């Protein structure tokens, strides 16, 4: 299941939309009958376009 998830994710993420790629990989595994444990450990990390520089953060406090 891990290999299938990653193959789908990488194919679908070529357009840069990693969130949608993750959802499509998850949905395909679900459709094929894999349990949530097969895809539940995969998470996306990042800032979602939010700057974490100290100058930006200080301006919002």
Listed by start position, the domains of the chain span 2-59
- Rounded alpha-carbon distances, angstroms, from residue 52 to 16, 17, 41, 44: 21, 21, 26, 17
pLDDT at 53: 56
pLDDT at 57: 47
**Distance between CA 7 and CA 39 in Å, rounded?**
13
**Distance between CA 57 and CA 40 in Å, rounded?**
32
Q: What is the pLDDT along the chain (61 residues), one digit of tens a residue?
A: 999 999 999 999 999 999 999 999 999 999 999 999 998 898 888 766 655 555 554 554 4
pLDDT at 35: 95
Q: What are phi and psi of 13, to 5 degrees?
A: -85, 0
pLDDT at 44: 86
Task: Confirm whether pTM is higher than 0.85.
Answer: no
């Amino acid at each position: 299941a891990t290999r299938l998830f990653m193959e789908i994710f990488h194919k679908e993420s070529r357009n840069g939309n990693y969130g949608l790629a993750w959802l499509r990989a998850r949905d395909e595994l679900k459709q094929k009958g894999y349990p949530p444990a097969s895809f539940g450990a995969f998470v996306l990390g990042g800032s979602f376009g939010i700057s974490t520089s100290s100058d930006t953060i200080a301006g919002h406090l």
